[in-house]
Amino acid sequence: MDNVAPVRACAKDAVASIRRRRVLQGVGALAAGALLNPLARAQAGRFDGKQLVYVSWGGVYQDFQKKSYCDPFAKETGARIIQDGPVNEAKIRSMVAAGGNPDWNVIDVTDTFLFNGTAHNLFEKLDFSIVNKSMVEPAYVTDYGIGTCAWSYNVAYNTKAFGVGKGPKTWADLFDVKRFPGKRMFRNRVYATLEIALLADGVDPAKLYPLDVNRALKKLDTIKDHITWWTTPSQSQQLIVDGAVSCGVIQNGRAYDASRKGAPIAIEWAQNLQSVDYLVILKGTKNLDVAMHLVNRSIQPDAQAMFSNNTAYSPVNPAAFSKIDKAISPWLATQKDNVAKGVILNAAWWQDKLEALDASWNAWRLS
């Protein structure tokens, strides 16, 4: 448990930093971009014949992680990067418990699982002589994980169901089945769902933590029969695009992807819930040097910008902002106005509560 205190401290820093972040200023462009070509030349053929498994959440999110991070790295180094997923926390625990060389290696995890998994010794300590942490906002760096993107949960609705500008605008609206009829979708996860329920019930965002779990579940009880649960972000897109639900909870980047493909979807930014995903390396990974270099490749400004320009998830490397398409800006969780309306998910609060509340959550869902 020696890792808990520093991770908790870092989590608090991350929560505070989003409020004061220098959004879309391109701060720190420095000479980071100029480092890329020498970096690629230095890696040429270095990892021929070596293999890693990269695990993420599927859909367009993982597609562009592959194109932005994994494919360039494979081309530059000769390594073979296999894609797998979706991320499954129980499976990760089982792999580490089994010992030896795990089937998964570099994994995109949520902030809560980063902190919880660090406390349970599930991840390799990052080698910062390889992973250049100076390229990333300090709030998104821990000894065992480094940020890959910032994002938000938003209220979303099908514009065919309600009309543009006439759908639910707040979390409270999602619980109003009379004004906004139809099925609504929520993520099948206790984390963030309790926060959404409490905000919908009128809790002041500044007084959200510690969470009143019983109050949140009672609020969810009021619409339990109207909820369709999604387990992967790709499912959330499909549910709302197909009209299987009229409204619900979605990640900002998934809404952007659906919208640019012509889907009848709109999102709102009131009380958007902001979070960060991290890259970790699973304990026992065989080709550890390869994994470290892949993580380092993922935080280069060109990789970060390419990913953001195609997904609307914000980069964690400030040098990437100068390369972001202006049309993407309104969709970014870290855009100034969106940050001002947002609520920070406090992963540090969840660190030692996740497992117990997850068990309570599953019991409630099945009741």
- Report whether pLDDT(201) > 70: yes
Give pTM, 2 decimals. Answer: 0.85
Same-domain status, 89 and 225: no
Taking 90 as the threshold, does the pLDDT of residue 36 lie above it? no
306: three-class secondary structure by DSSP: helix
Do 279 and 237 fall within a single domain? no
Angstrom CA distances, 1 to 97, 110, 118, 142, 347, stand at 16, 20, 9, 15, 17
Q: What is the pLDDT of residue 23?
A: 42
167 shares a domain with 131: no
- Is there a domain that residue 48 lies in? yes
164 and 218 housed in the same domain? yes
Q: Indicate the burial class of 64 (C-beta count within 10 angstroms; 0-12, 13-18, 19 or more).
A: buried
Shared domain for 141 and 281, answered yes or no, is yes
346 found inside a domain: no
Are 281 and 269 found together in one domain?
A: no
User: How far is the CA of 15 from the CAs of 80, 139, 331, 352, in angstroms?
Assistant: 36, 8, 20, 17
Q: What is the mean pLDDT of the chain?
A: 89
Does the pLDDT of residue 354 top 50, yes or no?
A: yes
- Could you tell me if 284 and 177 lie in one domain? no
Kindly state the average pLDDT of the residues 315-342.
93
Strand stretches in the chain, DSSP E: 51-55, 80-84, 106-110, 146-158, 184-187, 227-230, 247-251, 265-281, 343-344
> Is position 301 within any domain?
yes
- Which residues, other chains included, contact 53 with Cβ-Cβ below 8 Å and sequence gap of 6+? 81, 82, 83, 84, 103, 104, 105, 106
Instruction: Indicate whether 269 and 301 sit together in one domain.
Output: no
Q: How far does CA 306 lie from the centroid of its chain?
A: 17
Measured distance CA(207)–CA(200) in Å, rounded: 13
Domain that holds residue 304: 4-150+275-341
Q: What is the pLDDT of residue 22?
A: 41
Greater confidence, 253 or 26? 253
Q: The tokens 């099925």 sit on which residue?
A: 183
Q: Is the pLDDT of residue 292 over 70?
A: yes
- 131-141 pLDDT, tens digit per residue, is 999 999 998 99
In a domain, 337, yes or no: yes
CA distance 79 to 321: 29
| CATH number for the domain that contains residue 158 | 3.40.190.10
Q: Does one domain contain both 216 and 356? A: yes
223 and 357, same domain (yes or no): yes
User: Looking at the structure, do residues 13 and 118 belong to the same domain, yes or no?
Assistant: yes
DSSP string, 197-236: HHHHTT--GGG--S--HHHHHHHHHTTGGGEEEESSHHHH
pLDDT per residue as tens digits for the range 160-178: 999 999 999 999 999 999 9
pLDDT band at 29 (very low <50, low <70, confident <90, very high): very low
CA atoms within 13 A on the CB side of 115: 24
Same domain, 70 and 171: no
Q: What total of structural domains would you count in the chain? A: 2
